Amino acid sequence: MQKKKLIVTPPGPFAESNTYLDYLTKLISDKQIEVKILKSVPLIIKNPNPVNILGAGISAPHTFIQEKLMNMHEDHLKDITKYFSSQGVKVDFQIGHQSPQELLQKELDGKECLMWAVEISSDYNLWNELFGTRETELAKEINLPTLCIPSQVKFENPRTLLIVSKGNQKLDEFIPVDIINSFNLDVLLMIDAEDVNIDSLKREAAFLDLKKDLDIVKAGFIDGEDSLKLFVDSSNPSWIAYHNFDKPFIERAFNMNTTNFILSAERPVLVL
């Protein structure tokens, strides 16, 4: 069996993100999973090759800054790589000026990848909720399930996954079978749609290559109370998974959206 890759967006200052790194290490330590760290460094100039100013004399300052920025990030990635290696995790990294998605396509076949992991470090405020954060933008940009882990959440072995879906796709298009099986998760699929046929979905679920049965219920209001909130409060699922559904600005101001889910998370959020 081919080892799967956990793609990791590196955290900021090392000492401030040790909980995040510890979570990832313990999550995969006894699994056949390797870590690939990808870091996209923005270009200060379009062409990072040295450019002289004043004839053949002084080098342009932006070239020097670009090189220093790249070296700084590379040193940071080497420190993180050493951390994972010291915990017995096989790891390597790639740094470049391409977008995260372009780096991923350049380095790996998507079939090798289990999911992407990113630390939730953005503040929960109205600005971030309305306009998005680096976590939500990454999840939109890449074509992989993205596990968004709150900075201060300590590791507990994940046992349950609650998937909240609009019910407008086939199950095999968004149920993360490899992730569910890799971590042996009990799964409840909650469909947030009025006209969903639960019996039809259960027949469809029988054809998924899942190690465990998939429970399916309908979201909504029972006696005036939100069934999703009731379920989360009572069962306390290890992870909650959402479709990365986008909404116009006005809808984001008045209704729940993926950004809100991530920023208010008290547990890891898996964006599908």
Poorest-pLDDT segment among 162-171, 235-244, 245-254? 245-254
Q: Do 161 and 185 touch, CB atoms closer than 8 A?
A: yes
Which of 52-66, 114-128, 145-159 is predicted with the least confidence, judged by mean pLDDT?
52-66
Structure pTM?
A: 0.80
- Comparing 24 with 165, the larger pLDDT belongs to 24
Instruction: State pLDDT tens for residues 144-154.
Output: 899 989 888 89
Crossing angle of helices 61-86 and 18-28, in 10° steps, is 50
Return the higher-pLDDT residue of 176 and 259.
176
Residue 254 has pLDDT above 50, yes or no: no
Q: What is the pLDDT of residue 156?
A: 93
- Average pLDDT in the chain: 77
204 pLDDT higher than 50? yes
Residue whose pair of structure tokens reads 């590196």 in the numeric block: 10
pLDDT recorded at residue 221: 59
CB atoms within 10 A of CB 194: 9
2-16, 87-101, 128-142, 171-185: least confidently modelled range? 128-142
